[in-house]
Structure 1
Amino acid sequence: MPAAGVSSAPITPGGVPLIALPVPSMAASPVSAPRLSLFRLAGPTIVGNLLLSLVHLAAIKIVAALGAEAVAAVIAADRIYMAIQLIIFSITAGTTTMVAYAWGAQNPAEADRVVKLSAALCLGASLLLWVAIQWLATPMVAIFGLQGDILTEAANYLKVLIYFNVFFSFLAVISAALRAAGDAITPVWVAAIGNVINIVLAYLFVYGAGPVPAMGIIGAAYAAGLSYAVVGAIFYWLWMRNRLLLKPQKQAFFDRDRMRRLVRIAVPAGLEQSIFNFSIIAFMWVVSLYGTEAFTAYGIGVNILSVSIVIGIGFSIATATMAGQNLGAGRPDLAEQAAWRNLKVSFGIMAGLGLLIGVNARLIGSFFISDPIVLDYLVALVVMVAIVQPMMSIEFTLGGALRGAGDTRSPARIMFTGFAFGRLALTGVFYWLEMSVYWVYAALIADYIIKCAMYLVIFRRGAWKSAYGG
């Protein structure tokens, strides 16, 4: 039997080696375990996600002067845009796992093949989305109750974002691959450039200046799209000039076994993303039944609290990298230790920051909106979600460990259970009983209680340690 993390590479009749995938085994002799720092992985990712959250908040702040309906249109279009990215995000879930395993097994050539295969698949998916959204944009954003000119503007906003989706998909792949290989810093500073461009162009395009005409909310869409294009171009230039940790190599990257493994990881991840986005859209739809004020408050509240949530995402990505690389090196014991250690740190940080945001909910909310009804809804929502911040750390950290190990099926099952018995059942009952929207907001707590309990049970069982080779 070959050493853990190393497999022989049979040669095809054409002379191309088949995929050499690391299959860890407790009985095998492990390669040297990777030396990874939690905060060097999580820290830059958290900073990058915070910058992204601030960009979304800046866009809302810029558009807010146009009125609550304009903000609702942007929120609706952005939500649909992120929902239809589930294909891209599911592919990058596979990218993260496979690159981490290859890097842990000291096989950079395989990591390069995974990156190229992922980029090719995302390119095809982006082109399909570009065609589909031209027909589906209006009915998709209409589910939030938008009508008239605002509906048209929201649909056009979504179409503009899709024009630039090729760039977004490439930067998603290369960023995921770099983090999986241990470089979490480069994606941050490159994305920071795009964030600055986004904010400057958003203000310029929305309100106009000099020869640039005022474009309204559609200007914010062009600003975001152009920032994606710039970041994608910078990443591509760095990659082709061998300036990144992952070096492009002249080699074939497609074969059935590699595709099969990527799809096996990506499909459950895509299902999880589908359930996640459907649950958010369904939840937003129920909230929209309570009126534009409640809907607008929900959209703003989620963006405000994302400042706290992105910390969990940072720990999720870091834990996925550490789990994948340690398993690729044949050290499942270190993978498990890293997950528990990361959970303790993320739990404490997210609990503290959630408390800080919750206590200052009205002060923060008043910065974005002055409407007293919207502000009251917003404060209630912020408090509800602040309560679940510590529980989110469990979902993010242990979920990251499972995905990094190649077990994307368990998170999908957990997501569905929480959605079905938490959000869906309770929100339906609350609305049917004609209870206030505050009760609908509170259904989030039940959702996370269910998911946290399931994550703890499944992780302790340990079956995830052999998921990649299964």
Structure 2
Amino acid sequence: MATSLAQPPKRLSLLKLAGPTIVGNLLLSLVHLAAIKIVSALGAEAVTAVIAADRIYMAVQLVIIAITAGTTTMVAYAWGAQTPEEADRAVKLSATLCAAVSLLLCVAIQWLATPLVAIFGLSGDTLQEAATYLKVLIYFNVFFSFLAVISAGLRAAGDAMTPVLIAAVGNVINVALAYALVYGYMGMPSLGILGAAIATGISYMLVAIIFMLLWKRQHLLLKPLPQAFWSVERVRRLVRIAVPAGIEQGIQNFSIISFMWVVSLFGTEAFTAYGIGVNILSASIVIGVGFAIATATMAGQNLGAGQPEEAEKAAWRNLRIAFVIMAAIGLTIGLNARTIGSFFISDSQVLDYLTALTIMVAIVQPLMAIEFTLGGALRGAGDTKAPAKISFSGFLFGRVLLTGIFFALGLNVYWVYAALIADYVIKCSLYIRTFRRGKWKTAMSAPPKPTTNITATTE
């Protein structure tokens, strides 16, 4: 670990780190909800197709998300140790690996799209529309991977505002284009749900181009330097962080998909309600995600500066604030569950299911504060193994075991929805126990030594 610095790491304001991230994730969640709202006029089948395709798309991103977990840790450590040139190497290495993965996904999904979305029980036109949606969206994955890496790097260095401002531009374009391409407004062709996929992809492309131009022209906090970035030691370091993070993401995505599959056994109405509920959930947990990223940055920078006590204090402080805020959000969601659901769907059966699920979502809000905040601290410290183990425990004992019992007993889908609560109770208990043990403080090895062929230094 790096020796202690005379001054603590800069840019560790919780408001500056968490606030923009929360706003950015909220905007992204609202875009997903807007897409559902836009296509809802096409019928419940169209909504189901978009939900299924989006879920698979998010699932296949797990490798990219895992790599960016390594990006966050390595950049935060480098920034805390006041070695921005090492942060630049981490970003370039991550971007290169993500680009390679994205190209492979572009090819693989053309063959796998239909069987993947078919696991939700889709058939006929709905199945074909969902598969086509996924095939088109995956073509823009290279752009998504770059903006994911550069955004993670900037946040880890302490700049959470720039990714939000640039992404906001893409979000506006996404919604406007989706509306135009789905229904054929403003001279655009009427493409149905395919138009929503193209709109999302174009927004990814434009945001990535903006990021690339700003980065290349030295306008971002992270500045590209003419230096070598590829080394076996650095790759091993990134992989050591990314592999457990990827396993965790895989468990989480498999958990969601398998849970959706179980729900689909109760009929299209229950499945559609769950799909909308997941998107409502994604909008409600942006507070937790913001605190997770902020806490990861604080933990990584403080540990990189040789200040583990400050890292621990920041995590507990952030948790207290996140818990209160998310509990209040949960209360608001719970009291207005049916009103929220009626905004997205009018079918009475779907609305009944959605109302019940939204109440479950409200109950787990404060528990999510624990998972996201302490999980962020562990990942920022470089300990990605513990979150993977914890996610597996929640999935196995909370979702698999309980849903299996409920289904075997012939209970209705409301009991299956309730398994979400058990999942989070298990995970939160394990996160508190793991964090208190303190082994995460020594999870990260010292950064690789500078390569010998650096041709420039930081400004």
Write the distance in 2 (CA, Å) between the matches of 1:402 and 1:210.
48
Residue from 131, 142, 148 that aligns with 2:124? 148
User: Mean Cα displacement is larger for which, 200-209 or 298-307?
Assistant: 298-307
Tell me, yes or no, if the aligned pair for 1:31 and 1:329 is still in contact at 8 Å.
no
- What amino acid maps onto 2:361 in structure 1? V
1:409 aligns with 2:385: yes
Q: Map 1:62-461 to 2 at 5 A.
A: 62-209=38-185, 211-461=187-437
Please list every run of 5 or more consecutive structure 2 residues that lacks an aligned counterpart in the other structure. Answer: 447-459
1:3-82 to 2 correspondence within 5 Å?
23-24=1-2, 28-35=3-10, 36-82=12-58
One-letter amino acid of the counterpart of residue 328, structure 1? G
Partner Cα separation in structure 1 for residue 87 and residue 238 of structure 2: 12
1:363-401 CA distance string (max 9 Å, x none): 111111100000000000000111011011000000000
How far off is 1:252 after superposition? Answer: 0.4
The separation in 2 between residues aligned to 1:29 and 1:67, in whole angstroms, is 60
- In the TM superposition, residue 429 of structure 1 has moved relative to its aligned partner by 1.1
1:113 partner amino acid = R
Task: State the AA in 1 paired with 2:86.
Answer: E
Deviation of 1:31 after TM superposition, in Å, equals: 4.7
Check the 8 A contact 1:73/1:151 in 2, yes or no.
Answer: yes
Contact 1:206–1:214 under 8 Å retained in 2:
yes
Amino acid at match of 2:8: A
Kept after mapping to 1: 8 A contact 2:179/2:185: no
Query: 1:31·1:105 contact (CA, 8 Å) conserved in 2?
Result: no
When the two structures are superposed, what TM-score results if normalisation uses the length of structure 1? 0.94
RMSD value over aligned CA atoms? Answer: 0.9
Task: Tell me how many residue pairs correspond in the alignment.
Answer: 445
Output the amino acid matched with 2:159: D
Separation in structure 1 between the aligned mates of residue 69 and residue 343 of structure 2, nearest angstrom: 36
**Residue pair 1:93, 1:266 contacting (<8 A) in 2 also:** yes
Q: 2: CA distance between counterparts of 1:121 and 1:204?
A: 35
How far off is 1:210 after superposition? 5.1
Secondary structure, counterpart of 1:407 in structure 2: coil
Task: Provide, for residues 194-230 of structure 1, a one-character-per-residue CA deviation record: whole Å limited to 9, x for no partner.
Answer: 0000000000000002542210001000000000000
Q: Deviations over 1:60-83 (max 9, x none)?
A: 000000111110100000000000
Q: What is the CA-CA distance between 1:314 and the residue it aligns to? A: 0.3
- Matches of 2:196 and 2:382 in 1, distance apart? 37
1:38-85 residue CA offsets vs partner (Å, 9 max, x unmatched): 011000000000000110111000000011111010000000000000
Q: Which amino acid aligns with 1:194?
A: G
Instruction: Give 1:307 shift.
Output: 2.1
Deviation at 1:113, TM superposition (A): 0.5
The whole-number CA distance in structure 1 between the counterparts of 2:445 and 2:226 is 27
Contact kept? 1:339, 1:398, Cα under 8 Å? yes
Separation in structure 1 between the aligned mates of residue 42 and residue 185 of structure 2, nearest angstrom:
16
- Post-superposition Cα deviations, 1:162-182, rounded to whole Å, max 9, x if no partner, equal 000000000000000000000
**Is 2:450 the counterpart of 1:463?**
no
> Structure 1: which 5+ residue stretches go unaligned?
1-22
Kept after mapping to 1: 8 A contact 2:4/2:305: no
